[in-house]
Amino acid sequence: KQEVTQIPAALSVPEGENLVLNCSFTDSAIYNLQWFRQDPGKGLTSLLLIQSSQREQTSGRLNASLDKSSGRSTLYIAASQPGDSATYLCAVDTGNQFYFGTGTSLTVIP
Amino acid sequence: DADVTQTPRNRITKTGKRIMLECSQTKGHDRMYWYRQDPGLGLRLIYYSFDVKDINKGEISDGYSVSRQAQAKFSLSLESAIPNQTALYFCATEASPNEQFFGPGTRLTVL
């Protein structure tokens, strides 16, 4: 069974700092990996989708990388802002199911 | 209008009651999913459907059933609700195989 781990569980940084969130998975046989943002009590918003053949994807201040062989993905957030405060989840798609990590709760301090 | 909608958004019910959560989508996707989210446990898959005639159990299907009434509608039922089914429930759609899109969630409390 695929297991997805996100470290750290919580992170607090001052505004303007660049930061990296980590996601690891145990089975490299994946179709894609998706990063989401979740605000408290809300649904999940898709941030970036990386297909298994890709190494990275970028959207604005966000950059996600994927290393299938080592079972790792990172989400890089540049010049963090208080509005980036949320929980960030990664999910791997095995073709039949998505498996989610438990998320990293990010707080950006003004 | 939202692409994936869920009703109700909040529900409080009593142990033993039957309850149905509904999900509708306007994205035209074939694949639909039901998840529950619990603090510290992340999202866990309950059931999924790849088209109207296809229903599959997920990781935690016991105590739940689903109905795929149409491409756009996927309902989750709790036949006899129990307190440990208190959670946040999400419906999601997927253009196969591709991104998942989530509804706003239903907060269910079973007393």
Is the Cβ of A92 closer than 8 Å to some Cβ of chain B?
no
Q: Which chain B residues contact residue A103 at CB under 8 A?
A: 42
- Across the range B94-102, mean pLDDT stands at 80
Write the secondary structure of chain A as one string of H (helix), E (strand) and C (coil).
Answer: CCCEEEECCEEEEECCCCEEEEEEECCCCCCEEEEEEECCCCCEEEEEEEECCCCEEEECCEEEEEECCCCEEEEEECCCCHHHCEEEEEEEECCCCEEECCCEEEEEEC
- Across the range B78-94, mean pLDDT stands at 95
Percent of chain A at pLDDT exceeding 70? 100
CB contact (8 A) between residue A102 and residue B107: no
Question: For A47-79, what is each residue's pLDDT tens digit?
Answer: 999 999 999 999 999 999 999 999 999 999 999
- Across the range A15-42, mean pLDDT stands at 94
Question: For B28-49, what is each residue's pLDDT tens digit?
Answer: 999 999 999 998 788 999 999 9
Nearest Cα residue to B54 out of B36, B34, B32, B72: B32
Closest partner CB to A93 (pick from B56, B97, B102): B97
CB contact (8 A) between residue B97 and residue A31: yes
pLDDT at A97 over 80: yes
pLDDT at B23 over 60: yes
- Across the range B14-41, mean pLDDT stands at 94
Alpha-carbon distance B96 to nearest alpha carbon in chain A (angstroms): 9
Q: Which chain B residues contact residue A102 at CB under 8 A?
A: 40-42
Is the Cβ of B105 closer than 8 Å to some Cβ of chain A?
yes
Distance, CA of A64 to CA of B66 (rounded, Å)? 35
Is the Cβ of A39 closer than 8 Å to some Cβ of chain B?
no
Q: Which chain A residues contact residue B107 at CB under 8 A?
A: 41
Q: What is the pLDDT of residue B42?
A: 84
Write the secondary structure of chain B as one string of H (helix), E (strand) and C (coil).
Answer: CCCEEEECCEEEECCCCCEEEEEEECCCCCEEEEEEEECCCEEEEEEEEEECCEEEECCCCCCEEEEEEECCEEEEEECCCCHHHCEEEEEEEECCCCCEEECCCEEEEEC
Mutation site for B-interface testing, chosen from A25, A100, A104 by largest number of B Cβ within 10 Å:
A100
Radius of gyration of chain A (CA): 13
Q: What is the pLDDT of residue B97?
A: 58
Q: What is the pLDDT of residue B40?
A: 78
